Chains A and B, each alone.
Chain A
Amino acid sequence: MSILDLFRDYTLRNVALGAMVLGIVSGILGCFAVLRRQGLLGDALSHAALPGIAIAYLLTGSKAPIVLLLGAGIAGWVGTLVINRIVRDTRISEDSALGIVLSVFFGVGILLLTYIAKRNDANQAGLDRFLFGQAATLVATDVLTMSILGGLALGCLVLLYKEFKLLAFDPAFAASLGFPPNRLGILLTSLIVVAIVIGLQTVGVVLMAAMLVGPAVAARQWTHRLSVMLVLSGVFGASAGIAGTMLSLGQQHVPTGPMIILSLTAIVTISLLFAPARGLVWAKIRQNHSLNNEPRNREIQPAKGE
């Protein structure tokens, strides 16, 4: 299997392109979730999308990806609003609200999938592929849909880059200037829902959170500038997507979604350990170095306390 196969083989090309689009969109949007300390948000919303898929199928009887993904998007968005209301109107903290929405929506989704499976309906087979994704089912129109949705989400981000940056750094100051943090937050979260919808066919609801958090965490290690972090995060996401595709569709057929996540994990691990300035390995070396150079201070310090 070589890079060239990616361009020759129709299936392979679609899967690789799809995974790449997903990686770019989720990588870039995920930066804002990570910087706003909402890493769990993606997890909650992707799980919340599952009942939307089941309900869309029950209502329309169609398994067309566009229909199911629309259902997923609406459910994810409802999840966003529910989380927002819980945080605003109750004393429940945000992480608890995320946990509640994640488990309740996901539970309902599994329940509905089970109900659909028991109806002895020959048409229903395959809905559970949204749990872990099944990238091999991607066709050219799916990739086109993903690209259009992703392009719209990223276009929105470019337009409101200044506002989102302010929101992520200092929401109170944003509010004082007249940029409403609550509404901006809902908009940003809605864009993240779009990224999740894009990823459902490829990596599925269970693993989607990693596509939002992983590239952003890795990218933050290498730069101190938000714009560079966004680009780098998109590149990392795309690289993981392509690498995962190639690894999975080689000789043995292993599932693509998990291979993408494992490729991403490798990028994250290398970044956490070896990035200059922030890498743990360098920090450890610096620490040892400074300890070796200042042995006297260590001896004097305990005496001071007495």
Chain B
Amino acid sequence: MNASAKPLAIHDLTVAYQDKPVLWDIDLSVPTGVLAAIVGPNGAGKSTLIKATLGLMPVAAGTVEMFGQPYAKARRMVGYVPQRSSVDWDFPTNALDVVLMGTYGQLGWIKRPSKADREWALHCLEQLAMADFAQRQISQLSGGQQQRVFLARALAQRAQLYLMDEPFVGVDAVTERAIISLLQQLRSDGKTVICVHHDLDSAPEYFDWVALLNVRMIAAGPMKTIWTPENISQTYGGRTQSLIRGAA
């Protein structure tokens, strides 16, 4: 690991879906230790950016480096929280088991989780106030609890950089507070967090760094300098200015 290398550096990234560009010529460099939000309207390519970064979809052009290495070599330093709706929560398993999946990457092929891994997974659930639900079948958890299980799973990855796809969508107030305190804990531990976020009101409150995206990268940098009405209006095509309250 190169200590001076940025957690995430994207150069000239273009992603197309059936000949239609979803992301166009993206440059993004995220510094260590920030809580970064990727903000933009529906169809701006926010989730696509996360997925392309993780090699989950083919890219037409460009490079992605994490800690100065391609993702395939940096995997173990990266944690991922997919959208909650991306899986079938009726799958026959319990919360602890899902969190244990976060240790699979470090375990590698064939090897099974040990007792120590189970204790670690339980500890991760505790961090999100979910220890009481460890043995609960996942379909019997509320939406917010399911989201906390997903975050605990990412925590179990022991990563340096976390990529989260809409962690705040459809969660209750308790979960929202739990996620915020987790994010702050991660930042104070020197980790880097990048979240896809769609709520303009809460973005400047929760995050200290922002990337404004609408197919192209409109602006990216510290929240204080980037979060301006002009930039936001440019990102949203000038349509939603009245919705923006938090802007400087």
Is B109 within 8 A of A172, CB to CB? no
Cβ distance A86 to chain B, nearest Cβ, rounded Å: 16
13 additional A-B residue pairs with CB within 8 Å, beyond A173-B101, A173-B153, A179-B109: A162-B104, A162-B112, A162-B113, A166-B104, A170-B82, A170-B87, A172-B82, A172-B86, A173-B82, A176-B55, A176-B56, A179-B104, A228-B92
Cβ-closest chain A residue relative to B153: A173
Measured CB to CB, the residues of B under 8 A from A are 18, 51, 54-56, 72, 75, 78, 80, 82, 86-88, 91-94, 98, 101, 104-105, 107, 109-113, 137, 139, 153
The 8 Å CB contact of B92, one of A162, A179, A223, is A223
Interface centre among B80, B92, B109, B139 (most CB of A within 10 A): B92
Contacts of A223 in B (CB 8 A): 92
User: A166-B104, A169-B101, A172-B51 known; A178 and B93 CB under 8 Å?
Assistant: no
Cβ of B92 and Cβ of A229 under 8 Å apart?
yes
In the complex, A299 Cα to B51 Cα: how many Å? Answer: 48
Q: Mark A222-237, 1 if CB is under 8 A from B, else 0.
A: 0111101100000000
Contact partners of A176 in chain B: CB under 8 A: 54-56, 75, 78, 80, 105
For residue A128, CB closer than 8 A to chain B, the reply is: no
B87, B107, B112, most chain A CB atoms within 10 A: B87
Known contacts A91-B18, A178-B72; is-contact A160 B110 (Cβ 8 Å): yes
Can you list 12 A-B pairs with a CB-CB distance of less than 8 A? A37-B88, A162-B113, A163-B109, A169-B91, A173-B82, A175-B56, A176-B56, A178-B105, A224-B92, A224-B93, A225-B94, A226-B93
Q: How many A-B residue pairs have CB under 8 A?
A: 72
Q: Cα distance A175–B58 when bound, in Å? A: 13
Q: Kindly state whether residue A220 has any CB partner on chain B within 8 Å.
A: yes
Q: Is the interface of A mostly helix, strand, loop or mixed?
A: helix
Task: Quote the shortest CB–CB distance from A55 to chain B (angstroms).
Answer: 35
A159 nearest in chain B by CB position: B110
Q: What are the 6 tightest A-B residue pairs by CB atom distance, in nearest-first order?
A: A177-B105, A224-B137, A176-B80, A176-B54, A226-B92, A169-B91
Q: Which residues of B contact A170 (CB under 8 A)?
A: 82, 86-87, 101
In the assembled complex, A35 has its CB within 8 A of some CB on chain B: yes
**Within 8 Å of chain B (Cβ to Cβ): is A168?**
yes
Task: Compute how far the CA of A12 lies from the CA of B27 in the bound complex, rounded to whole angstroms.
Answer: 70
Per-residue contact bits, chain A 156-194, to B (CB 8 Å; 1 contact, 0 not): 000111110110111011011111000000000000000
